[in-house]
Amino acid sequence: MPKPERRRLPWEKELIELTKFDWLTAVGLSHDHKHSPLQLRIAIGVMQHADPETKVAWPSQQTLAQYAGVGDQRQVRRAILAMCDSGAISRGRISQLDEESREKVTRHKRGVAYRLNMYWAFEVLEASTKPLPAEPMQLKKAHIDRTTAVLSDRTTAVRHTQDYGSPPYKEGTLEISEKKAGNEEGSASTRETPASAYSVASRGG
């Protein structure tokens, strides 16, 4: 039985091969939108309503608000505006669409339609395959110096806070624990602790 052919990843496709799902992947990779959960949810709503062939969607703002889980449609408008500014989508009246796209629309012709920009998605996907530039040595050194300064500014109490993740016994503590246990049981300890310089001086006085 022949091995099934591996499915091509979005950034391995040509522009003409991209689907609306690849467009959504590009939105998630875009620096303009990946840090905004609201914009990502709005993008999901737009993509779900987009026609697979024309890449045109016509959901209402109320529907997009339900997809995003928000009650204020002003948040939807801000997210749509952000995607228009980045070039991810273009917005216009349904009546201004070409005849092929207008025939796909199932709602009244006076609403707003959104077109997924597949060329924008192609550029974002292509850029995602390039490695990020290395951090300049000046910035790396500044980060190290800043970390050292923060550690040096810590108080003594913070620097010497007990490490509760360490083992319960360390070298030299077993004898003290055994002696304490013996004293609690009322038995005399056979180990003698060395006299401190203070106690010797007191007895001599």
pLDDT of residue 190: 47
User: The domain that contains 98 carries what CATH number?
Assistant: 1.10.10.10
CA distances (Å), origin 183, targets 169, 186, 187, 188, 190: 19, 5, 6, 6, 11
> 151 in a domain, yes or no?
no
pLDDT of residue 107: 75
The CA distance from 75 to 96, in Å, is 25
> What's the sign of the alpha-carbon dihedral 39, 45, 48, 51?
negative
Q: What is the DSSP letter of 93?
A: E
pTM score > 0.85 for this model? Answer: no
The angle that helices 37-49 and 61-68 make with each other, rounded to 10 degrees, is: 130
User: Residue ranges of the chain with pLDDT lower than 50?
Assistant: 156-157, 159, 173-181, 185, 187-191
* Domain boundaries, position 26: 10-128
pLDDT of residue 23: 96
> 144 in a domain, yes or no?
no
pLDDT of residue 48: 95
| 116, β-bridge pairs | 89
Summarised one tens digit per residue, pLDDT across range 30-54 is 999 999 999 999 999 999 999 999 9
The CA distance from 47 to 75, in Å, is 18
pLDDT of residue 120: 96
Total domains present in the chain: 1
> 68 in a domain, yes or no?
yes
